[in-house]
Amino acid sequence: MGAAVGLNDLFILNPYIRSYNYNDTGYLSQYTCDYDTTFAIQLDLTTSSPVPVYYVHLPGNDGFFVASQQGIALAIAAANTHNWAFYMGASTKYSVLNATFCNATYSPTLFAVHVDLTERLITVKPQETLTQVDEFTPAPEYIVWSGADTAASLSMIGTTSYTSLIGDMFIRNINRTYYAAGVNGTVNPLHAMQDTAEVLWDAAYIGALSA
């Protein structure tokens, strides 16, 4: 949004302009996560090569190369095109993540943008009116797959015998949620997973646009 708003445009140097508003279209994202009681992760160890290689098979995909070490701390993600699901399988260290999935929904939405030139602040809010917005490029499925590709890459390159990069991302956010809730607070780890998935997808989407 910042690039579209143009905080660096020359006209904002006009001393009489303090702020301005405009409308723009975008996707309103929503993530819902849950545990899949029928989830079955298949971890294959091939010995056909000089170095053992692990492959992971998740629902709706052809499998991902994981690591060439035994006893890996596994956490791996992949997308299922049929329902836009983000699946995760994990070893004992990341057991809270195992057999989880997140559905991603992107709804075309009209947003109200307010630009405060004094504070250098951009505020973006979805319009409360029932304004019909047609889908536009990129399509929602492209966004989902961009995030899934990033998640799968992180699963592969960030996995060792001791840690998993993507596993740590989710676990740290879950721990922060517990800490924020306090001793007597009730925390659903799935809510923290939803927040993490949303950040991961947004970062992947921005990266894809910048490529």
- Extents of the domains making up the chain: 23-110+132-210
Give the three-class secondary structure for 14. Answer: coil
pLDDT value at position 130? Answer: 55
Give the whole-angstrom CA distance, residue 209 versus residue 83. 24
Q: What is the mean pLDDT of the chain?
A: 72
Q: Can you tell me which residue has the tokens 């056909």?
A: 48
pLDDT tens digits, residue range 100-130? 888 877 778 888 888 888 888 888 888 866 5
* 59 band by pLDDT with thresholds 50, 70 and 90: low
Q: 70, 57 in Cβ contact below 8 A?
A: no
Amino acid at 146: S
Give the whole-angstrom CA distance, residue 59 versus residue 209. 28
Percentage above 70 pLDDT, the chain: 54
Q: Which two tokens stand for residue 203?
A: 């970062």
CA distances from 172 to 96, 97, 179 (A): 12, 12, 10
pLDDT value at position 198? Answer: 81
pLDDT value at position 6? Answer: 53
Give the whole-angstrom CA distance, residue 85 versus residue 140. 13
Q: 190, 33 in Cβ contact below 8 A?
A: yes
- Residue 77 vs residue 139, higher pLDDT: 139
pLDDT value at position 3? Answer: 44
Q: How many residues does the chain have?
A: 211
pLDDT reading at 162 higher than 80: no
pLDDT value at position 207? Answer: 64
H-helix or E-strand spanning residue 75: strand 75-80
CA distances from 198 to 72, 182, 195 (A): 26, 24, 5
pLDDT value at position 2? Answer: 42
